[in-house]
Structure 1
């Protein structure tokens, strides 16, 4: 398997305006070690660090996801946590 090879598509609970366009889903890529290193170097508390990393994993700026509904943000954090499982366990946890 070639890492990072996976992405997860998160269907949002309702359309979200992003850069003037309505989006209904976000694609989150598998985190790499460099993402965790950047997380450590990011200024701010745990939620600031986490939201910045998640935005990066979605190819967005941190401010882009600040107005997401909390439910949709939780879907993104759950997806990140699934990526931290061994690959064979991820399949059984897919949504």
Structure 2
């Protein structure tokens, strides 16, 4: 995280301008949570959200949405023919 630029004074001022008790209550209600991570206060959580990069990949879904998992190999091409359509027609119409 050493490559992440710290927030500017203007950015922190924008965060501070949004600190209202009703805003915190509305966000908690909307997210259906009771508190912030590790017991942080609202301002600290907003600063963390704005200043620290976040990535949370819990899984990827591709095409199949039925019961059970079906892995797809991105290298293996899959073709589907549409009844009554030739490849040339499909390219020009879609």
TM tier, shorter chain? under 0.3
Q: Normalising by structure 1, report the TM-score.
A: 0.27
Higher relative contact order (CA 8 A, sep 6+): 2
- Greater fraction helix: 1
Q: Normalising by structure 2, report the TM-score.
A: 0.27
In our comparison, the structure showing a higher alpha carbon Rg is 2
